[in-house]
Amino acid sequence: MAKVVILSGAGISAESGISTFRDSEGLWEHYDIKDICTAGCLETNRETTIEFYDKRRLDLADKEPNRAHRVIARLKAKYKDDIAIITQNVDDLFEKAGIAHEDIVHLHGYLTKVECEKCGLVYDIGYKKTQDSFNGKCPTCASGKIRPFIVMFGEAAPMYAKINQEIDDCELLVVIGTSGNVIAVDILSSYVDRTILNNLEPSITINDELYTKVLYKKATEAIDEIASEIEIFLEKRV
């Protein structure tokens, strides 16, 4: 397991123009969260749910990684086995920055992938609408029951087991751009000796007194200091 764990949330991608469901503007503005991203929405509101994620997928096509993604990609390339990248984000900005997809733990799924509800096949459709890839049918079993490869609120999140595995061996935890509403980062921090928290502003669900270093600023503005801390820490271990 890696000695440094970087856990990122929506805040790291916001500077690349990707809106979150807490934004007052953007793709989420005209949708009710309970209708398009909670367990059961594909049964009760399938058409609108598919439409929403198709729009998010198309919107992702021209989004570029920002400096925070690129610096983390550089660190991962330099210290491949010592750094674990875990993200709550479903975008592909870390991949666009140069990190191999298999080297990133996407806790909540991946926007360019879809899943066949009949046979379970997960496949990448790029930045297309669901209907525009294989005519909206599974390339293996031809079923038309295709869903976004996204973990909805209230659904099981199997990749969460990876957090526990990595935290067991973690010596430096870096939390970037998360409110703490979905993942209780304070609990994670209690298992690690050294921790860094970077958010744009304080969150009522995070006790910043629990963290070794706190940086309230944009991820792109904090990333150099974060990278320096990581490199100093890892070089001392050599």
Partners of 113 in the beta sheet?
124
Cβ atoms of 179 and 203 within 8 Å: the answer is yes
More confident residue, 168 or 22: 168
CA distance 74 to 237: 19
Mean pLDDT of the chain: 93
Does the annotation flag 170 for ligand binding?
no
Does the annotation flag 138 for ligand binding?
yes
* Average pLDDT for 129-153: 97
Cβ atoms of 85 and 72 within 8 Å: the answer is yes
- All CATH 3.30.1600.10 domain ranges of the chain, comma separated, are 19-62+109-150
CA distance 53 to 133: 14
- pTM, to two decimals: 0.94
Fold topology of 19-62+109-150: SIR2/SIRT2 'Small Domain' (3.30.1600)
Tens-place pLDDT, residues 181-236: 999 999 999 999 999 999 999 999 999 999 999 999 999 999 999 999 999 999 98
Q: For this structure, is 69 an active site residue?
A: no
Tens-place pLDDT, residues 7-45: 999 999 999 999 765 554 555 667 887 888 899 999 999
**CATH H superfamily, domain 1-16+65-108+157-238:** TPP-binding domain (3.40.50.1220)
Q: Residues 30, 69, 106, 108: which is the catalytic one?
A: 108
Enumerate residues 6+ apart whose C-beta is below 8 A from 86. Answer: 5, 6, 7, 8, 104, 105, 107, 162, 163, 166
Confidence of residue 2 (pLDDT cuts 50, 70, 90): confident
The pLDDT value given to residue 26: 52
